[in-house]
């Protein structure tokens, strides 16, 4: 351009890159608060065997990967926007030409690993909510395996921009990868939401509306189904397919939004607010014994109903079977 300013499209891409980095930072801040709350909950409750250890290990691994990814992303952003702010190519072009930066590669490896462990949580929750029905997880498991396999060549292509062949495949691999990811999460979200919606009336009959609201309410459905991340991923895929410059704003925080939704589920599990095998089985059988025997049930002191009335209700439903 005559005045030496960058083209308008480049400015839009640069702003999208900056906005994506900003949103990623905000999302990571939310994740830090969730992990701190989860840690507080875990420290304040007695250890309960394997499930307790699983929550601790899963949430810690998730948080560590997200932290490394965020640290690498911020360091790379510092290199782009501060150290090389006068680069004539502009931030986005500098980004594309320095994808082999060691800090960036470290961040991308963590970004690749995060969905691997993040979606394992969703497959587990789908299995539990559908009362340990193995058939329901067959299709999403195939999608998960395909997505994991696809992430490896995508990572190689993204970190080898100087290789002509790999660079040419990046867009194709990216489209396939994120399409598989969105398909997996869309299937799980719909399946979980439909299951909770279908059994809402039955749960209310067995537990009463007050107790049932903890397990079939709107917020519960949103959290258990991971709907927010599914909508986020779907938005990114649509923008990517339309070659929108705004897609970067949704791509960079992608894994941190995923981590937030999974951490919310882990927090509900630690607080005894999430669906468990005992609860799903009891709901299917129409009994309320889980409220007395399950270590994953809602604490009775958190609701106004007395333990005597709850035990009487349990006997009532058992006698009616």
Q: Is the pLDDT of residue 316 over 70?
A: no
Q: Is the pLDDT of residue 143 over 80?
A: yes
How large is the average pLDDT for residues 158-177? 80
Residue 89 in 3-state DSSP?
coil
Higher local confidence (pLDDT), 295 or 49: 49
- Check residues 167 and 54 and name the one with the higher pLDDT: 54
Looking at mean pLDDT, say which of 49-53, 202-206, 315-319 comes out highest.
49-53
Q: Cα(79)–Cα(91) distance, rounded to whole angstroms?
A: 10
Contact 269, 55 (CB under 8 A): yes
Q: What is the mean pLDDT of residues 80-86?
A: 79
CA distance 226 to 102: 32
Whole-angstrom CA distances from 245 to 152, 191, 215, 240, 255 are: 25, 32, 40, 8, 19
Give yes or no for residue 191 having a pLDDT over 90: yes
Mean pLDDT (the chain) is 82
* Model pTM score: 0.83
296 pLDDT tier (thresholds 50, 70, 90): very low
Higher pLDDT, 67 or 272: 67
Distance between CA atoms of 190 and 196, rounded to whole angstroms? 10
Cβ contact 240:175 at 8 Å = yes
23 vs 308 pLDDT, higher one: 23
The gap from C-alpha 259 to its chain's centroid, in whole angstroms, comes to 5
Predicted confidence band at 128 (pLDDT cuts at 50, 70, 90)? very high
- Average the pLDDT over 258-273 and give the result: 93
Rounded Cα distance between 174 and 158, Å, is 9
pLDDT tens string 6-64: 565 567 878 888 898 999 999 999 999 999 999 999 988 776 678 888 999 999 999 99
Choose the weakest-confidence range: 5-14, 22-31, 74-83, 292-301: 292-301
């Amino acid at each position: 351009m005559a005045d030496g300013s960058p083209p308008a499209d480049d400015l839009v891409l640069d702003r999208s890159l900056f906005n994506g980095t900003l949103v990623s930072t905000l999302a990571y801040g939310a994740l830090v608060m969730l992990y701190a709350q989860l840690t507080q909950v875990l420290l304040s409750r007695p250890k309960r065997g394997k499930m307790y250890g699983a929550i601790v290990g899963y949430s810690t691994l998730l948080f560590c990967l997200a932290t490394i990814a965020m640290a690498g992303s911020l360091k790379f952003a510092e290199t782009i926007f501060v150290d090389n702010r006068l680069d004539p190519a502009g931030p986005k072009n500098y980004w594309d030409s320095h994808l082999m930066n060691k800090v960036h590669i470290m961040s991308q490896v963590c970004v690749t690993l995060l969905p691997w462990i993040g979606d394992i949580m969703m497959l587990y929750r789908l299995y539990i909510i559908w009362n340990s029905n193995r058939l329901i997880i067959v299709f999403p498991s195939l999608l998960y395996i395909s997505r994991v396999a696809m992430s490896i060549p995508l990572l190689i292509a993204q970190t080898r921009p100087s290789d002509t062949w790999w660079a040419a495949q990046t867009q194709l691999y990216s489209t396939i990868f994120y399409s598989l990811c969105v398909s997996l999460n869309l299937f799980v979200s719909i399946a979980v939401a439909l299951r909770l919606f279908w059994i809402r009336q039955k749960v209310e009959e067995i537990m009463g509306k007050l107790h049932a609201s903890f397990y079939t309410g709107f917020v519960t459905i949103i959290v258990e189904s991971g709907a927010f991340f599914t909508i986020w991923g779907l938005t990114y895929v649509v923008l990517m397919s339309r070659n929108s410059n705004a897609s970067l704003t949704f791509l960079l925080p992608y894994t941190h939004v995923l981590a937030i939704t999974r951490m919310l589920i882990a927090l509900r599990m630690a607080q005894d607010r999430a669906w468990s095998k005992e609860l799903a089985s009891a709901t299917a059988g129409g009994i309320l014994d889980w409220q007395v025997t399950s270590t994953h049930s809602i604490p009775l002191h958190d609701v106004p109903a007395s333990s005597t009335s709850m035990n009487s209700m349990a006997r009532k439903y058992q006698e009616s079977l």
